[in-house]
Amino acid sequence: MSKARHTQDIRDARDAPADYADSVVAAWSAVLPDVQASSVGFVVRLHQAMIAMEEFDRRSIGTLDLTAPEYMVLVVLATRPDTPGLTLRELQPLVMYSSGGMTHCVDRLARKSLIERRPNPQDRRSVLVCLTELGRERAQAAMRARIDALDSLLEPITGPDRDAVDHALRILASTLGRGAVAAGTL
């Protein structure tokens, strides 16, 4: 998509009289006329953005011959240059991937010669996942490509708008995090 077309799409979205989320709010309001349902519209838009962002990630990372979890492992390792490596247990929450999925992901990266497993000097029962030189180069290239893709995606959104969305998302993430801890789901 061209930058001009992307910018026009953003303007059209701001000026649009109604969207799917508005229709959901209207439907809820028709069923529950005594309830303010605008929060439903916010969550529907947030969910739509999340789905679109996942697709954006697949497209932008897919060009690098990496899956999203592989990309995340490389970036996590690359952004910790003072660490000799991380165990699978340490990597898992940083990449937000299941333990079984993490093992398969690390296996794939090892077959691509992007990481290697080394003995953990702190615990002989575990290994450290470490970047190879090729892995470090691929991670840096992937990070540069990611920044370029994100800059292009977010270019039409002004600094103040980005700051406002970032602030609201921080509050939401914090609120959801507290709720997950309170519910015992974290």
Q: Give the residue-averaged pLDDT of 31-42.
A: 91
DSSP characters for 78-91? Answer: HT-TTSS-B-HHHH
Tokens linked to 172: 């939401």
* Confidence grade of residue 161 (pLDDT, cut at 50, 70, 90): very high
Domain identity same for 9 and 36: yes
Domain identity same for 125 and 90: yes
Q: Which of 46, 62, 78 is the last residue of a domain?
A: 62
Whether residue 163 lies inside any domain: the answer is yes
Q: Which domain holds residue 22?
A: 1-62
Domain identity same for 26 and 48: yes
**pLDDT computed for residue 99 by the predictor:** 79
pLDDT per position as a tens digit, 7-24: 455 445 556 558 888 889
Domain identity same for 97 and 130: yes
Whether residue 118 lies inside any domain: the answer is yes
Whether residue 151 lies inside any domain: the answer is no
Domain of residue 122, CATH code? 1.10.10.10
**pLDDT computed for residue 182 by the predictor:** 42
Domain identity same for 85 and 131: yes
Q: Which of 10, 45, 62 is the last residue of a domain?
A: 62
Domain identity same for 28 and 84: no
Instruction: Tell me what percent of the residues of the chain surpass a pLDDT of 70.
Output: 86
Whether residue 152 lies inside any domain: the answer is no
Domain identity same for 91 and 107: yes
Q: Give the residue-averaged pLDDT of 66-74.
A: 91
Domain identity same for 45 and 111: no
Whether residue 154 lies inside any domain: the answer is no
Whether residue 147 lies inside any domain: the answer is no
Domain identity same for 58 and 72: no
Q: pLDDT at residue 105 above 70?
A: yes
pLDDT per position as a tens digit, 147-157: 999 999 999 99
**What are the Cα distances from residue 157, in Å, to 16, 121, 129, 150?**
16, 47, 38, 11
Q: Which of 32, 62, 92 is the last residue of a domain?
A: 62
Other CB atoms within 10 A of residue 30 CB: 9
Number of domains observed in the structure of the chain: 3
pLDDT per position as a tens digit, 75-87: 999 999 888 899 9
Residue 105, Cβ density class (10 Å: 0-12 exposed, 13-18 middle, ≥19 buried): buried
Domain identity same for 32 and 78: no
Beta strands in the chain (DSSP E): 115-119, 127-131
Instruction: Tell me what percent of the residues of the chain surpass a pLDDT of 90.
Output: 51
Its pTM surpasses 0.75: no
Domain identity same for 13 and 54: yes
Whether residue 27 lies inside any domain: the answer is yes
Domain identity same for 76 and 134: yes
* Confidence grade of residue 95 (pLDDT, cut at 50, 70, 90): confident
**pLDDT computed for residue 132 by the predictor:** 96
